[in-house]
A and B are shown apart, each in its own frame.
Chain A
């Protein structure tokens, strides 16, 4: 019994120890302390955060290690001794890792060796903070003690939360009262009232109209970006979420839209200054056509090829845009300036508020389209292909045409997003269309809920809105996205807001069959 507890604690401790060492080596300890500081209301984002916040950060990690090590045992009795053993051993082992790395770097910096030649993220400030402003030995011993204690505290906390009757009954009472409110007559009468829907829509419309005017340029910029990513997410969702074909180089269509629009409306390099709406239409059409052409040779092969070919296609587009060969036509690495903004009836709209309205309008249009598509015959065909292509074919779905349609629709929507992006920035260059954009979009679709429209909204706000608020994590963003993708796929592949699939019909069909068999 004792050995299994120790074993579990040590294993968790090793994992958390490696995580702590990695965090220290990439400079995340400072950023994490900054995040904690922000949570407690410290003002400055970019100066080194105070030591107190670092201590809190380490205590949180230690407590997390302790509590995740001391989950309810499978075989043994759930005693406090078990929880404490696992918690202390997890904290001790992760503390050992931290202490060793702290001691090594503390000694190095005491001997005036700068590790930044090879490990640029390990700054002297972060070493000093990691060792609590002490010398190498004292600091690393303090780390060991702190992590062990917080491991024990985390284990104890999770043990008592798990086993205390008061917490259990409190939680049950709370959930009962919440569900009671939701299920009560009065609430359901309000929800089911046909007018309440209109009231809700009215409130949303009022918020959407009023907010861009009141909250200023910075937030308009941030939420404009969120809106553009919502459009991209909705577009990618058609081919990936519904038709089940992964497109990694989605940014290629974004780039084609942005560049087509830019070349048609900017004074350089082609002296074409077309009307905004005409250029928008053409850009969307060109992107959709590109999707069609890419899809033609590949879509009757298995899905993985589409992923890689689009990835290659995105790289081709980026290299071509940067190359000398295309510089006379696409302005090369400098990018295209002075791209037109929207205009209506001879009046041009260029302020950030106008663009916010335009983006909101586009998001609404695309959402409406996506919603209609999902419930259409085509949408059902996509769903059938996603579930099982062979069966879908057998039931009369033309898989190839359906997939081709999905890809070109996706590409067209990406083109629209590219137009909005280029027009709002009044600039577009090859670096706006790096592969990172695609990874961001895939990530937001997956995290929000693949195949689900509200999920994509949630994903876009979480992945493009939150990082703007949490600026400390800026350089770690893609790293976190990578981890997020792996963890989500393992724990919750359907996303935070999973799509509702028509399982009910299947079940009812089963029921009728059984009834027929009985009678």
Chain B
């Protein structure tokens, strides 16, 4: 009816998109120029350093990806940001830490070494047990979080869910601080997974250490991601999850138990976060109540970057974020203290330029 008005609003939307693209191009061009300056013209670091940064970025990225999948799964199904997800990961890290500590005090003397403990006598079994315990604790945390805090609010406005999630995050973080104390705890690995040990590769005349813990973490996170993809794409549960993500009401009419699917989604996302937490402990070596907070927010950034609600997007976003975060400070020639700033700046940048993320489909206004 009112043709001029509708075209004018359309025009405004288009102008806004142009402005966004323009701002994005300007910022990206500036960043590229800066990277070019630092990397090529000044030549501050050799190839070995870049390889080292890239490797640590890949390893970090694997963990971010695992946590980001949890955000994306929950977001896809409930349209909520599970703010306490980082804390779930932290609980998993503590699970791994305490398993190692407990196994360290089980003496299993052999003839050759009378002071041997269980941790070093059966290192593979110990690591397996640590992952089992960490995953169990985290998935239970996810399960009870959903059951106690989120389920009664299924029909409540989004703001209320988000505030509940913040409350849960604050609660879990402070509970861990009061239970285990605020100081950082050293995770003592089995001797074969010593953090200093690894393969040494020579790149441009310098030795680069590829640590066993790093390779182990990266391989395990890749395995878990493949496993998750199979679960979501090939199993009955995965089909139910996708159906609920598309439309809850229709799915329940088709005989899908929505409550059950939501519950299982929280268990799966908790399990992945728990695995990431145990890896964090094994690879980084330090665990405290604050361990989950920053990785949690960064993994959310990764999920947004890849396109929230999109599982391959979360994997890609996590990997990218890990690499950018560890290569970024050197590439941009800024202080290494500021690596956390880079992650958050990326979040803002992605939201400015492409709010639906790299792999995200065009989301309707309701989802965005």
Q: Which of A26, A303, A446, A493 contacts B178 (CB 8 A)?
A: A26
Chain B residues with Cβ below 8 Å from A315 are: 294, 297, 340, 344
Q: Which of A53-61, A91-99, A316-324, A345-353 contacts B (4 or more CB under 8 A)?
A: A316-324
* Residues A489 and B355 in contact, CB atoms below 8 Å apart: no
- Name, among B162, B166, B181, B343, the residue most crowded by chain A CB atoms within 10 Å (CB to CB): B166
Q: Is the C-beta of B174 less than 8 angstroms from some C-beta in chain A?
A: yes
State whether A486 and B101 are in contact (beta carbons under 8 Å apart), knowing that A307-B162, A319-B341 are contacts in the complex.
Answer: no
Q: Is the C-beta of A325 less than 8 angstroms from some C-beta in chain B?
A: yes
State how many angstroms separate the Cβ of B90 from the closest Cβ of chain A.
14
Q: Which of B31-39, B149-157, B194-202 contacts A (4 or more CB under 8 A)?
A: B149-157
Q: Is the C-beta of A481 less than 8 angstroms from some C-beta in chain B?
A: yes
Residue in chain B with minimal CB distance to A479 = B174
State how many angstroms separate the Cβ of B354 from the closest Cβ of chain A.
11
Chain A residues with Cβ below 8 Å from B152 are: 490
State how many angstroms separate the Cβ of B245 from the closest Cβ of chain A.
17
Chain B residues with Cβ below 8 Å from A302 are: 367-368
- Name, among B80, B300, B351, the residue most crowded by chain A CB atoms within 10 Å (CB to CB): B351
Chain A residues with Cβ below 8 Å from B368 are: 301-302
Chain A residues with Cβ below 8 Å from B172 are: 482
Q: Is the C-beta of A439 less than 8 angstroms from some C-beta in chain B?
A: yes
State whether A311 and B297 are in contact (beta carbons under 8 Å apart), knowing that A22-B175, A298-B351, A478-B174 are contacts in the complex.
Answer: yes
Chain B residues with Cβ below 8 Å from A119 are: 179-181
Cβ proximity bits A104-143 to B, threshold 8 Å, 1 near / 0 not? 0000000000000011110000000000000000000000
Q: Which of B101, B156, B166, B345 contacts A118 (CB 8 A)?
A: B101
Chain B residues with Cβ below 8 Å from A308 are: 81, 297, 300, 304, 347
Cβ proximity bits B5-47 to A, threshold 8 Å, 1 near / 0 not? 0000000000010001000000000000000000000000000
Residue in chain A with minimal CB distance to B169 = A482
State how many angstroms separate the Cβ of B344 from the closest Cβ of chain A.
4
* Residues B179 and A25 in contact, CB atoms below 8 Å apart: yes
* Residues A479 and B178 in contact, CB atoms below 8 Å apart: yes
Residue in chain B with minimal CB distance to A296 = B352
* Residues B149 and A305 in contact, CB atoms below 8 Å apart: no
Q: Which of B16, B81, B181 contacts A307 (CB 8 A)?
A: B81
Q: Which of B52-60, B126-134, B331-339 contacts A (4 or more CB under 8 A)?
A: B331-339
Contact residues of B between 277 and 318, Cβ < 8 Å to A: 294, 297, 300-301, 304
Q: Is the C-beta of B229 less than 8 angstroms from some C-beta in chain A?
A: no
* Residues B170 and A439 in contact, CB atoms below 8 Å apart: yes
Complexed CA–CA distance, A131 and B164 (Å): 36
* Residues B175 and A26 in contact, CB atoms below 8 Å apart: yes
* Residues A439 and B348 in contact, CB atoms below 8 Å apart: no
State how many angstroms separate the Cβ of A359 from the closest Cβ of chain B.
27
Complexed CA–CA distance, A320 and B355 (Å): 25
Complexed CA–CA distance, A322 and B341 (Å): 12
Q: Which of A301, A313, A481, A493 contacts B344 (CB 8 A)?
A: A313
Chain A, interface residues (CB within 8 Å), range: 35 or more
- Name, among B101, B153, B162, B173, the residue most crowded by chain A CB atoms within 10 Å (CB to CB): B162
* Residues A316 and B355 in contact, CB atoms below 8 Å apart: no
Chain B residues with Cβ below 8 Å from A478 are: 170, 173-174
Complexed CA–CA distance, A218 and B156 (Å): 42
Chain B, interface residues (CB within 8 Å), range: 35 or more
State how many angstroms separate the Cβ of A295 from the closest Cβ of chain B.
12
- Name, among B20, B156, B158, the residue most crowded by chain A CB atoms within 10 Å (CB to CB): B158
Q: Is the C-beta of B168 less than 8 angstroms from some C-beta in chain A?
A: yes
State how many angstroms separate the Cβ of B38 from the closest Cβ of chain A.
15
Q: Is the C-beta of B223 less than 8 angstroms from some C-beta in chain A?
A: no
Q: Helix, strand, loop or mixed for chain A's interface?
A: helix
Contact residues of A between 280 and 324, Cβ < 8 Å to B: 297-298, 300-305, 307-309, 311-313, 315-316, 319-320, 322-324
State how many angstroms separate the Cβ of A513 from the closest Cβ of chain B.
25
Cβ proximity bits A19-36 to B, threshold 8 Å, 1 near / 0 not? 000100111000000000
State whether A244 and B159 are in contact (beta carbons under 8 Å apart), knowing that A297-B348, A479-B178 are contacts in the complex.
Answer: yes
State how many angstroms separate the Cβ of A26 from the closest Cβ of chain B.
4
Residue in chain A with minimal CB distance to B149 = A486
* Residues B167 and A489 in contact, CB atoms below 8 Å apart: yes
State how many angstroms separate the Cβ of B53 from the closest Cβ of chain A.
19
State how many angstroms separate the Cβ of A501 from the closest Cβ of chain B.
14
Q: Which of A27, A390, A489 contacts B164 (CB 8 A)?
A: A489
Chain B residues at the A interface, C-beta cutoff of 8 Å: 16, 20, 80-81, 98, 101, 148-149, 152-153, 156, 158-160, 162-164, 166-175, 178-181, 294, 297, 300-301, 304, 334-335, 337-338, 340-341, 343-345, 347-348, 351-352, 355, 365, 367-368
Offer 26 A-B interface pairs, CB within 8 angstroms, sorted by A: A26-B178, A27-B178, A119-B181, A120-B180, A121-B181, A246-B159, A297-B20, A298-B348, A301-B355, A302-B368, A303-B159, A304-B81, A304-B158, A307-B162, A309-B347, A312-B301, A319-B340, A319-B341, A320-B338, A325-B335, A478-B170, A484-B167, A486-B167, A486-B168, A486-B171, A489-B164
Q: Ordered nearest first, which 4 A-B pairs have the shortest CB separation?
A: A485-B167, A482-B171, A312-B344, A482-B170
